[in-house]
Homo-oligomer: A and B are copies of this chain.
Amino acid sequence: MIEPVNEQTNAFNAWAHNMQMRVEDVLNTHLPPSNTSPMRLHEAMRYATLGGGKRVRALLAYAAGEFCGAGLNKIDVPAAAVEIIHAFSLVHDDLPCMDNDDLRRGKPTTHKQYGDALALLVGDALQSLAFQLISQDKQLKSATQKLQMLHILALASGSRGMAGGQAIDIESIGIPLSRAELEHMHIQKTGALIRAGALLGAYSADKPKDDKIKAVDHFAKSIGLAFQVVDDILDAEANTQALGKTAGKDQLHNKSTYVTILGLSAAKQLASELHANAMAALSFYGREADLLRHLANFIIHRSF
């Protein structure tokens, strides 16, 4: 007999797979077709965005949206927009002047495939596209709602969010960071956009309740940091093939990580604590928060 917990896990895995396919469809529909001018740019934008990745930010948007009572069709474009911002950041992050990576999601990085100049423009145009899609979304009826999403996304992407975290990252190469500095960097670099994914999902509901928005926000802050701790652990442990991107690059680039600062065992302990914090943020809720809970487990226990 199958244990109930496994049944639940199976149901979550099926849901996650469905949502990954769903956001892939939304992205496919909303990315400019590669047979429209400028064709090579559009082709490269699709190459950089489609066909890969765990879609963690979209899954968070869908899970938080359902938790707050939004229909899936309202969450589609916000979820896709966050994935587009994430894809843009990966393209720029992989460029030779940044991490100089050749491999991403098991295939050549965008600049390896299309050249550095076009990859730069792919990132720029993807950022614009994310804002454009939310601004023109027909499923979201309220201008105030869309404006709030655009504001959250712009803040999360900018100098006090993702770009700021990346700036701290490149400035600190070769300079050992304290644990507080490392945490500050990751809250911006990875955490801000993960949090934005969850919040955009929550705000996809027509009238999300304040307590649920706050719960989503607390949950997303903890799970965003947990995601990065796990990333550091995976980078230290995994091999390139399983990861689908160049492994061990943190050490290669002489970067501070949770593993270099805390050691592997304490880093794993920290991931567990952050997971517990995320769960605690949902403690007042019943079954309606189960997708978020399973997602937290997925983020902690992933192997890629």
Contact = CB atoms under 8 A, between A and B. Distances in A.
A42 B159 contact: yes
Interface residues of A, number: 54
Interface stretch (A124-132, A215-223, A275-283): A124-132
A167 B135 contact: no
Contact of A159 (B45, B92, B95, B120): B45
Interface in A154-172: 154-155, 157-161, 163-164, 166-168, 170-171
Interface in A79-95: 88-89, 92, 95
Nearest to A142: B143
Contact of A98 (B38, B120, B144, B151): B120
Interface in A113-152: 115-118, 120-121, 123-125, 127-129, 131-132, 135-136, 142-144, 146-147, 150-151
A158 B129 contact: yes
Contacts of A167: 38, 40-41, 118, 121, 125
A265 interface: no
A154 B132 contact: yes
A32 interface: yes
A129 B159 contact: yes
B116 A132 contact: no
A2 interface: no
Contacts of A5: none
Contact of A38 (B121, B147, B153, B168): B168
Contacts of A153: 131
Nearest to A181: B37
A98 B124 CA distance: 13
A80 to B, nearest CB: 14
A171 B40 contact: yes
A159 B125 CA distance: 5
Interface string A45-66: 1000000000000000000000
Given A135-B147, A135-B150, A147-B143, A158 B128 contact: yes
A132 B159 CA distance: 11
9 contacts: A38-B164, A38-B188, A41-B159, A92-B121, A118-B167, A125-B157, A143-B143, A146-B147, A150-B150
Given A97-B117, A125-B164, 4 more contacts: A124-B163, A125-B159, A128-B163, A132-B155
